[in-house]
Amino acid sequence: MELLIRQETSADYTAVFDITQKAFAQLEVSDHTEQFLVERLRASDGFIPELSLVAVCDGKIAAHILFTRLYIVTNDSRHESLILAPVSVLPEQQSKGVGSALINHGHEVARGLGYSSVVLVGHKDYYPRFGYKKLSGFGISIPFPAPDECCLGLELVPGALQNIHGIVEFPPAFLPH
């Protein structure tokens, strides 16, 4: 399979909507509205065009990933970070390394842009392979109930999440509309 990863353009929006809808369609933990989350995040303050990426497999868009800026808030400071959400691979292209390639590529782009960490709420058995660790281990919490092992963070720069004892401030785009 020929795999190309590039920045999303507005010409990709329809395909990305379709991919996101199909990727999450069978997922029990999903409310099946992630395609609208992508639209809200694109329109939000924290949107970073360089971190909305598509994977083109044999000439066809097959996957999408989005990292959006947010802040981890402590008693006296705000630390810029990113949230990975969502990542979507068309069902027929899953388990072929496409999701991993998108995640690793996204991390490199994010590091190049100067970001030092990523947080997410997701599959506990998938993200540790990329270096994600429990947020609770860093002393970081999220403002809604979720299994501890699914609330994860990655230091793109070693030590970036050390000594930040705070709460992840989710952008309003994450609230159900």
| Positions in the binding site for ligand COA (CB under 6 A) | 23-24, 27, 86-89, 94-100, 122-123, 125-126
Of 146 and 157, CB closest to ligand COA? 146
- Residue listed under structure tokens 């395609």: 35
Using Cβ positions, the residue closest to ligand COA within the complex turns out to be: 99
Of 40 and 73, CB closest to ligand COA? 40
d(CA 105, CA 98): 10
Least spacing, CB of residue 76 vs ligand COA, in Å: 32
Count of helices and strands (H, E) across the chain: 4, 8
Least spacing, CB of residue 25 vs ligand COA, in Å: 9
C-alpha pair distances (Å), 18 with each of 69, 82, 83, 86, 169: 24, 24, 22, 13, 29
Of 2 and 125, CB closest to ligand COA? 125
